[in-house]
Amino acid sequence: MSTSTTNFRFEGSDMNRKLLMGHPSGLFVLFFTEMWERFSYYGMRAILVLFLTSAIIDGGWAWSREDALGLYGTYTMLVYFSPILGGILADKIFGYRRAVAIGALIMTLGHAAMAFDTPWSLYLGIGLLVAGNGLFKPNITSIINGVYKNAQDKKDGAFTIFYMGVNAGAFLGILLCGYIGESVGWHWGFGLAGVFMFLGMIQFWLAQGIFGRIGLSPSETITFDEEHKENGENTAVEKEEIVSSKVQRDRYIVVGILAFFTIFFWAAFEQAGGSMTIFASDYTNRVLEGNSALAFRIANTLLTVIPLLIITYVLLQLFKITFSKYRVSNLALGLSFAIIWGIVIYMLNEQFSQENTEIPASWFGILNSFYIIAFAPLVSKIWESKYNPPATVKFGMGLVLLGLGFGVLAYGSASIPQGAQTASVSIIWLILAYLLHTLGELSLSPVGLSYVSKLVPAAKIGLMFGLWYIAVGLGNKLAGTMGGLIDKITAAYDMSTFFLIFTVVPIVAGLLVMSLTKVMNKLMHGVR
């Protein structure tokens, strides 16, 4: 791991310019902060629908699938709507760094509320999670934009690495909160998510100095510059490119078009936490015996331990760079990993001590995150090479791959009778579907964040990330609404028809956005 500077000019402190995987060390402070936030979000999300639809005797609330998916869709929609307000507050008042820390604290309180088994605590917890996420989500990506302000060619790769951190958290959250929730108790799973949100907040707050003036509030920025000028330090920041109103209008149009197609992507992709979880729970053969059970235990051990070893290695490399200056922050991060390793060892020991294995329904959600951890570095290298395609081609590829994943599920569910409430199809169809969905996500989601940051003026970046997440939120609400129709569609037609809807729509949308490549390139006015 190189710790020297490069030809690229990265913003922030001198320590931030020491490199890890070819990127500033501060990117990995954000990497781990986002990782624990995503742990909490996806860990809670993985068990929410299962908890609501489980029988009362199993500790659930025995809601109907339609009602549970309706709440799920509303919650995920609001999670993506709230960043618009959080972006404005950060731009005008808090600054990005303080907004991230306050948001993390509010989300910690939200998870703590959900650890109690009462309706008021559930709704209070969801409200706090929505509010905290609004402050956290758009502003941590805005800090990345500040670090790479004068290293635009590295930005696609940076967001892809950051996305690897997102999915490392999602992977561990789904795996461990899902396991604890389904085997120990639902509210233990909800509470576990809050522990890591708190440690992530401590880690970020104590290491934020690595970003220098990036992400400070307007008043703090003035004070920072004055103090460093008195010490003879140069705090000048390269002036932002000044473009005409027509050029900027065209670039806003590009963001709007990409956001529109993003709605179609997330409306289908977010079936992962809804109808695909129900498909895993009620229509998939999850009970394994004999050699099949042993094979799964071995595969699950490798699937769990190898990514965790990779992320732990990245952690140790970051320690080498930052421990001397940010010791307590590093200790908080190290404590979180010690707890994770303890829970993982306990879980694997329990699974190997059982004669038969029943795969938790939430387990399939980790496949998406595992595939991203495995493929994100490769995709990042492609985006930084001469084979880097235009934004519209990346978006189109993402939508088409997503549709093909649902095509696999449509084929795999062809044997399920019309109106059936349960079935026992092979797990292979979900495994293949998640692979295609993940490759589609890598082609679209991190690239979308990168292009928003390239096409929008720095003064509006928090606001525009908020608007971008509104599009994602609309997709999430549509996902809950469409997923809630699973019983009606399977009763009137069959399960294959339900999944074919999510096959056709994304593929058509993907081909359409690819056909706009020439027009979109012209509207971007030189942005690549």
Q: What is the pLDDT of residue 46?
A: 82
Of 162, 81, 66, 41, the residue nearest 486 (C-alpha): 66
Residues 404-450 pLDDT 10s: 999 999 999 999 988 888 788 899 999 999 999 999 998 998 778 77
Q: What is the pLDDT of residue 433?
A: 96
Helix (H, G, I), strand (E, B) or coil at 274: coil
Mean pLDDT of 215-235: 68
Q: What is the pLDDT of residue 241?
A: 63
- Does pLDDT of 503 surpass 80? yes
For residue 524, what are the CA distances in angstroms to 34, 156, 167, 490, 514? 29, 16, 30, 44, 15
- Which of 166 and 341 is assigned the larger pLDDT? 341
Mean pLDDT of 179-203: 89
**pTM to 2 decimals?**
0.78
**Mean of per-residue pLDDT scores for the chain:** 87
Least confident of 113-117, 162-166, 457-461, 471-475: 457-461
- Which of 439 and 218 is assigned the larger pLDDT? 439
Task: Write down the residue that tokens 């998870």 correspond to.
Answer: 111
Angle between helix axes 365-383 and 428-455 (nearest 10 degrees) is 50
Burial class (CB in 10 A: 0-12, 13-18, 19+), 193: buried
Rounded Cα gap, residues 445 and 460, in angstroms? 20
Least confident of 228-232, 272-276, 319-323, 504-508: 228-232
CB contact at 8 A, 130 and 358: no
- Which of 131 and 460 is assigned the larger pLDDT? 131
Rounded Cα gap, residues 181 and 19, in angstroms? 39
The number of C-alpha atoms within 13 Å of 102 and in the hemisphere containing its C-beta is 15
For residue 58, what are the CA distances in angstroms to 72, 182, 359? 20, 9, 17
Q: What is the pLDDT of residue 229?
A: 63
Q: What is the pLDDT of residue 228?
A: 61
- Does pLDDT of 224 surpass 80? no
- Does pLDDT of 218 surpass 90? no
Q: What is the pLDDT of residue 276?
A: 92
Residues 89-111 pLDDT 10s: 888 888 999 999 999 999 999 99
- Does pLDDT of 366 surpass 90? no
Q: Which band of pLDDT confidence, cut at 50, 70 and 90, is reported for residue 346? A: very high
List phi, psi (to 5°) of 217. -70, 165
β-pairing verdict for 287-288 and 357-358: antiparallel
Rounded Cα gap, residues 94 and 220, in angstroms? 9
Rounded Cα gap, residues 284 and 298, in angstroms? 20
Q: Which of 119-123, 170-174, 417-421, 499-503 has the highest mean pLDDT?
A: 499-503
Rounded Cα gap, residues 258 and 448, in angstroms? 7
Q: Which band of pLDDT confidence, cut at 50, 70 and 90, is reported for residue 4? A: very low
CB contact at 8 A, 193 and 40: yes
